[in-house]
Amino acid sequence: MVAGAQTGTTEGWSSRTAFVLAAVGAAVGLGNLWRFPTLAGESGGGAFVAVYVGCVILIGLPLVLSEILIGRAGRSDAVDSVRNVAKASGISEKWQIFGWFEIIAAFFILTFYSVVAGWVIYYIGVMLGDFFSALGAGEPLRGALAGETSEQITGRMGALFENVPMLVAMHTLFMLITIGIVAQGVTDGIEKAAMFLMPAFFVLLVLITIYGAFTGDFGRAVEFLFTPDFSKLTPPVINEALGQALFSMSLGSAALMTYGAYVSRDTKLGPTAGMIGFADTGVAIIAGLMIFPIVFAAGLDPAGGPTLVFQSLPIAFQNMPAGSLIGLLFFVLVFFAALTSSISLLEGPTAWAKEAFGWSRSKTAWIVGLCIYVVGIACALSLSIWSDVRLLPFWDIFADQNIFDTIDGFTGKILLPTSAFLTAIFVGWRADRKLVDAETGLQGGTLAAFRFLVAWVCPIAVGLILLFGIFPELLTAISG
Ligand code: PHE
């Protein structure tokens, strides 16, 4: 802990493995399984993937390390950790502002994240029912949703959006599970969940990918994901890739700082950050290799957009052997990934409120979770009956977006990059250099590389995303 820290956490991971699994669990989520394939599909595949991987290495990794090290050095929630490090560095405590931004970002991301995770639970229900009816019919290896037409399958999503009680019920269920786990604490809740969910997730991921490789059009998927067509590299694609890298690695949203505060002194942070980044990117790419063979085999459009996973995949599962079982497993896998991420999203604001108000962990988790839940209901309603409600009508980029898209856009385009930018300036330029260097556990060339990336590459690149996110007309001007 840095000298002068007054507040602090008494909780901690019971092992390095526990921390790595929890942090990988935070990173791997709907961002990898739902958003990454969607964006790669829409932006022409390989070109997007190439830029994305570049962003992860040059910007994501140094920022992951920066956030974890602030947490471990500050030994508290996101706000107090930044303040403690600022104090120890002899600079203004006003730097805690980005700790605030991160907590606010986590709060709002979870509001819509939980709604999407609710869709996942709904699809688990659909697939479970289908699997049992396949079993009942004595055909356990048949395709998914055998009796339905493609229109019926695609129609489910719209019908779910209109079905407000169902949508809210699924969101409720997901939030209850998330809160229930966070309320148990770091070792008894978060860590136990990660130690079970992450290994189960990886087993399912490998299984379904192998299945797709054998039954789907694997060659075409590989070609799609790894042959970059550089003519597709427009500024909006680069911008999108950078934003996605931040979101996917859980940057700018308090999760990594908060988890960092629970890491023991003898864990080397540099290599650990590398593992988190590697696992997160690996899962995103494997998710592509899992989803696109199935999509191509069914002759569907890879650029299906946000409904790729929820509409295209079920149609694809219909045409595949054992699709009914694999479809079910697929949505269970997505659910596991979403849950470990939502836990980390709730933990950031919870850790802060617990320190700030002196409440017990369990009380804090329930109160904070309930507030998020209520805003989440507004996100859910904005998919149908509240679709005309505008949160920021005076701001042109959000003027015609519903509540869901406004919160998603505001956090992703404004809050995350702002915090990431400030983190880079703070760690790269303002925080005590000896303290930072010692926390990284890096030496020689890798330390020099880290310092260069965090001080120069991150602020410039992230500053650009921010600028283009706020003034999209600049992008249009550049791309002609
Ligand atoms: N990284 C998670 C995902 O890819 C989402 C997330 C963002 C989790 C920010 C925690 C903090 O789904």
Retrieve residue 26's tokens: 């935070």
What single letter denotes the amino acid at residue 276? I
Residues 439 and 270: beta-carbon distance below 8 Å: no
Q: What is the distance in A from the centroid of ligand 1 to the CA of 255?
A: 8
- Rounded mean pLDDT of the chain? 93
Q: pLDDT at residue 7 above 80?
A: no
153-192 pLDDT, tens per residue? 989 999 999 999 999 999 999 999 999 999 999 999 999 9
Averaged over 270-299, what is the pLDDT? 92
Q: What is the distance in A from the centroid of ligand 1 to the CA of 116?
A: 13
Give the whole-angstrom CA distance, residue 416 versus residue 68: 16
Pocket test for ligand 1, best of 250, 411, 415, 423 (most atoms within 8 A of CB): 250
Give the whole-angstrom CA distance, residue 376 versus residue 458: 32
Place of tokens 């950790």: 81
Q: pLDDT at residue 144 above 80?
A: yes
- When pLDDT is cut at 50, 70 and 90, the band that residue 263 belongs to is very high
338 CA closest ligand 1 atom index: 12
Pocket test for ligand 1, best of 247, 251, 416 (most atoms within 8 A of CB): 247
Q: pLDDT at residue 55 above 80?
A: yes
- When pLDDT is cut at 50, 70 and 90, the band that residue 2 belongs to is low
Residue nearest to ligand 1 atom 10, measured at CA:
250
List all residues 6 or more positions away from 58 whose beta carbon is below 8 Å from its beta carbon: 453, 457, 458, 461
Quickly count: other Cβ atoms within 10 Å of residue 158's Cβ.
13
Nearest CA-CA partner of 273 in 96, 103, 34, 71: 71
The confidence score (pLDDT) of residue 8 equals 73
- When pLDDT is cut at 50, 70 and 90, the band that residue 6 belongs to is very low
344 lines ligand 1 (CB under 6 A): yes
81 lines ligand 1 (CB under 6 A): no
402 lines ligand 1 (CB under 6 A): no
Q: What is the distance in A from the centroid of ligand 1 to the CA of 297?
A: 30
253 lines ligand 1 (CB under 6 A): yes
Three-state secondary structure of 394-433: CCHHHCCCCHHHHHHHHHHHHHHHHHHHHHHHHHHHHCCH
The confidence score (pLDDT) of residue 418 equals 95
Residues 89 and 430: beta-carbon distance below 8 Å: yes
305: alpha, beta or left? (left if phi > 0; alpha if psi -120 to 50) = left
Percent share of the chain, pLDDT over 90: 79
32 CA closest ligand 1 atom index: 4
Averaged over 91-119, what is the pLDDT? 97
Retrieve residue 284's tokens: 């995103």
96 lines ligand 1 (CB under 6 A): no
Q: pLDDT at residue 4 above 50?
A: no
Place of tokens 């079993």: 135
- When pLDDT is cut at 50, 70 and 90, the band that residue 429 belongs to is very high
247 lines ligand 1 (CB under 6 A): yes
431-449 pLDDT, tens per residue? 999 999 999 999 999 999 9
112 lines ligand 1 (CB under 6 A): no
133-143 pLDDT, tens per residue? 999 999 999 99
105 versus 303: which is more confidently predicted? 105
174 lines ligand 1 (CB under 6 A): no
Q: What is the distance in A from the centroid of ligand 1 to the CA of 357?
A: 26
243 lines ligand 1 (CB under 6 A): no
415 lines ligand 1 (CB under 6 A): no
Residue nearest to ligand 1 atom 6, measured at CA:
250
| Weakest mean pLDDT among 101-110, 214-223, 300-309, 367-376 | 300-309
Nearest CA-CA partner of 80 in 103, 62, 108: 103
Percent share of the chain, pLDDT over 70: 98
Residue 143 carries which DSSP code?
Answer: P
What single letter denotes the amino acid at residue 119? W
215-239 pLDDT, tens per residue? 889 999 999 999 988 888 787 788 8
247 CA closest ligand 1 atom index: 7
Q: What is the distance in A from the centroid of ligand 1 to the CA of 247?
A: 6
369-384 pLDDT, tens per residue? 999 999 999 999 999 9
